[in-house]
Amino acid sequence: MTTAIPQRITILGATGSIGVSTLDVIARHPQRYRVAALTAHSNVARLEAQCLAFRPELAVVGEAGPARALQGRLRQQGLETRVLSGPDALEMVAGDERSDTVVAGIVGAAGLAPTLAAIRAGKRILLANKESLVMAGGLFMDAVQRHGAVLLPLDSEHNAVFQCLPPGYSARPADASGVKRILLTASGGPFRTKPAAELAHVTPEQACAHPNWSMGRKISVDSATLMNKGLELIEACWLFGLPGERVEVVVHPQSIIHSLVEYVDGSMLAQLGNPDMRTPIAHALAYPERIDSGVVGLDLVACGQLQFERPDTERFPCLSLAYQAFAAGGDACINLNAANEVAVEAFLAGRLRFIDIPDLIREVLERLGVAPVVDLDDVFSRDRRARRTARELAAGW
């Protein structure tokens, strides 16, 4: 059934893989959705093409100069899109009344502030920015409840869990839903079978060549180190109200089963599908209805055998570091995320080896210890401190 009034969508991080996939789904349902605003950090050329195709009222880029240039080009082509720039504009657009749904697709800590702005405006949030919950889980979930926002997960694993949970599931420890544990599946990344001795020599290009998914460079490296799965388990704990010991990671190289929920009666529910982000995006956009995503249906016979194995935390210690940080509480997850972002940036720039990434993160966690977090000012100040510490360490590595 098509809604009478089109849903108005703002996409934060429109030029990234999540944004591009979201626009692909939207384009398939022009009567159902309207694009209100698009944002990008530096990929102005792609943003311009998106503005021409979807004609949003607002657009945001990272810096003022490119924003003025884009504004001029759009005016020359007859578009009335207003182009803004900078972090304040990003937050303004996220909370703007011209949209009712915000796709939070910005990668990394930069996505926290605009996502919170959307929450404070009581929006329907389609969350792909896992770092928001990693950095500010308790504060983030409290804000969702306080402002009456609706939070729907876009990450394929969390969206799969959401689909396998009972209707009306509430993320409260007292919820008598019968959920025993959550199993998050991981592909294992491009180095799942690579001997440990060879990991010291892998290149950024090899780390970004994911076997199943098409993703940005940062998240691709996180997948290769298994830190992406570590961040996802922290996100799952906050989203679904479970302690770390009830969220388990299992390596599933085919990426056909996207995650599972086990119940106390022995039942286990799984969500399956071809590895394409348009499936969870379409689910969240239309929820509780279902719409065509453009994804080819799954052929189980062609899939053949499905494999499962335990993650190798000796070769890929980032997953263990994430478990430890969540268990430690306080600002440990902030430090974990900040150190990881700095380490991945340094690896992509050729300043760190692949195997140095977890070592740098561990050193930052040990050096900074754990302290309580009271408010968002604490979140941002601890994030800055951890990044500064990580950069200092990386410079002398």
> Which pLDDT does position 214 carry in this prediction?
65
| CATH number, span 7-154 | 3.40.50.720
Amino acid at 167: P
pLDDT at 387: 98
User: Structure pTM?
Assistant: 0.92
pLDDT tens per residue, range 311-337: 999 999 999 999 999 999 999 999 999
What architecture does CATH give domain 329-397?
Orthogonal Bundle (1.10)
Strands of the chain (E only): list them: 7-12, 33-39, 58-61, 82-85, 101-104, 124-127, 150-153, 179-186, 247-251, 257-263, 268-272
Domain boundaries, the chain: 7-154, 159-275+297-319, 329-397
**Token pair for residue 341?**
């972002």
- Better-scored residue on pLDDT, 355 or 216: 355
Mean pLDDT over each residue of the chain, to the nearest integer: 94
Q: Omega into 66 within 30° of 0, i.e. cis?
A: no
pLDDT score of 107? 86
pLDDT for res 4: 66
**Structure confidence at residue 213 as a pLDDT band (50, 70, 90):** low
| Average pLDDT rounded to a whole number, residues 21-36 | 98
Q: First and final CA of the chain: distance in angstroms?
A: 58
Residues above pLDDT 70, as percent of the chain: 97
CA distance 360 to 389: 10
Per-residue model confidence as pLDDT tens digits over 266-306: 999 999 999 999 999 999 999 999 999 999 999 999 999 99
CA distances from 229 to 26, 88, 183, 290, 329 (A): 28, 31, 11, 27, 18
Q: Is the pLDDT of residue 80 over 60?
A: yes
> Whose CA is closest to 129, among 240, 284, 18?
18
Say yes or no to pLDDT of 2 above 50.
Answer: no
Looking at the predicted structure, is the pLDDT value of residue 3 above 80? no
Strands (E) located in 213-275: 247-251, 257-263, 268-272
Mind listing the pLDDT tens digit for each residue in 139-191? 999 999 999 999 999 999 999 999 999 988 876 655 678 999 999 999 999 99
What average pLDDT does range 245-250 have in this prediction?
96
